[in-house]
Structure 1
Amino acid sequence: MKYVEIFIECVATYFYLVFLLRYLGKKEMGKLSVSDLIVFLLISELMTISIGDDNVNFFHGALAALVIIILDKLCSYAALKFKPVKKVLEGHPTFIVNKGKLDQKKMEALNYSVDDLCHHLRSQGIGSLSEVEFAILETDGQLSVIESQKNQVEMPESLIIDGEINSEILKMMGKNEDWLKKKLRQHGVDDYHDVFYCILEKERLFFIKK
């Protein structure tokens, strides 16, 4: 009877976790942020305990997993609406190579070696750092690389997202908010809050209005 109960709980756990992860909306399981990884580890541990420990009710474990998923959803919504929350929960991308220049201080701060960088470049078919215009270590640990010959932007990071100016990127470019506002006015945009997305390409300022 005990084995039948374990079998039923395992089957129920499988379908329950499939439902929860679908609800969570994670499409690429190989590219998880730190918060995503924590959520999956917690859910896995909770469901394992609820099946293997006779003193823990299965439904209590399932309820706890649901609470974690809902909490993660709320945090994701807060990160989408509030930039400070996003920085705390997800961090921010780090430019390892910026306009062909290797930033050794940032690499040291991240404990990211030149061997690591070269390994990732080779895996993308790039043989030398001289071919790289930008190399960005994303929040999920992936390295995004833009080759010099293929680069079409001044900076591969948005200047405005959903009406919010990215001041850090402007500072990296040696620009300020007044410069960006002036550029937008030249394109007939008086209020940057009306801009959903904006990036500086080589030849122009590309933006999408709300």
Structure 2
Amino acid sequence: METIVRIVIIYTVIIVGLRILGKREFGQLSPAELVTLLIIPEIVSPALVRDDPSLTNAIVGTTTLFSLVFVVSLLMHHVPPLEKVVSSSPTLLVSDGRFLAENMNKERISPEEIYTEMRKAGVYELSQVRWVVLESDGKMSVIPRPGAARVANDDTSS
């Protein structure tokens, strides 16, 4: 029964902490937020398996971690140069229908990955693309040239 109580307490602390940090989809996590989610199990596992008889260390560790993430996000919001250091900026991968090989190599993005995103956007030829941007959240945005023919997704065909 003690294990169940410990899990309920830790679960509540984590849910409250994540709720305070704000709403984000997992695909939109910043590197700092992803690291936070990866560190949480290491902090709380001793309290859950009773290697540490006290829940206090797990709660203090988790709330400290959430506090750090919150403070860093506040600082990044109010100090733009800090945001540039902590977060990545968008990278142009295609410009006017041409791959930017240097940027693609720097970001380790293959032409096949770009073609996949183009197809998802309904664009099938590189010449139809004005820009492809690797956004800060790791997703690619495909901006077609004005007047480029776009094909709507047809989920009814097999």
TM-score, normalised to structure 2, is: 0.83
- The match for 1:124 among 117, 121, 124 is 121
Matches of 2:78 and 2:21 in 1, distance apart? 18
Residues 53 and 102 of structure 1, relative CA distance in 2, 3 Å threshold = same
Quote the residue 1:13 is aligned against. Answer: 10
Q: Tell me which residue corresponds to 1:137.
A: 134
Question: Comparing 112-121 with 123-132, which one deviates more in the overlay?
Answer: 123-132
Q: Is the 8 A contact 2:98 2:126 kept in 1?
A: no
Partner residue in 2 for 1:200: none
Task: Give, in whole Å, the separation in 2 of the partners of 1:70 and 1:150.
Answer: 49
- Give the Å deviation of 1:150: 7.0
Question: Matched residue pairs, number?
Answer: 148
* Distance in 2, Cα, partners of 1:83 & 1:5: 46
**Contact 2:98–2:127 (8 Å) recurs in 1:** no
Task: Give the corresponding residue for 1:108.
Answer: 105
Percent sequence identity over matched residues? Answer: 27
Aligned residue for 2:78?
81
Q: CA deviation at 1:96?
A: 0.8
2:58 is the alignment partner of 1:61: yes
Where structure 2 has 5 or more consecutive residues not aligned to the other structure, the ranges are 149-158
CA deviation string 1:69-107 (max 9, x = no partner):
111111111111222211221111111123443211110
String of CA shifts for 1:53-81, please: whole Å, max 9, x gaps. Answer: 42352221111111111111111111112
- Pick from 30, 45, 68 the counterpart of residue 71 of structure 1: 68
Q: Which runs of 5+ in 1 are unaligned?
A: 152-210
Report the secondary structure of 1:140's partner residue: coil
Task: Tell me the alpha carbon deviations over residues 32-70 of structure 1, each in whole angstroms, 9 at most, x when there is no partner.
Answer: 121110011112321223212423522211111111111
Instruction: Specify the SS of the correspondent of 1:112.
Output: coil
- Provide the alpha-carbon RMSD of the alignment: 1.9
Q: Deviations over 1:13-36 (max 9, x none)?
A: 222211110101033233212111
Please list every run of at least 4 consecutive aligned residues from structure 1 whose deviation after the TM superposition is greater than 3 angstroms: none
The one-letter amino acid paired with 1:24 is: L
One of 145, 148, 153 as aligned partner of 1:148: 145
Answer 1 or 2: which has greater strand percent: 1
The answer to whether residue 21 in structure 2 is matched with residue 24 in structure 1 is yes
| Inter-CA distance 150–28: structure 2 relative to 1 (3 Å threshold) | farther
Residue 126 to residue 20, structure 1, CA distance change in 2 (3 Å): same
Partner of 1:45: 42
Deviation of residue 119 (structure 1)? 1.6
Structure 1 Cα separation of the partners of residues 25 and 83 of structure 2: 19
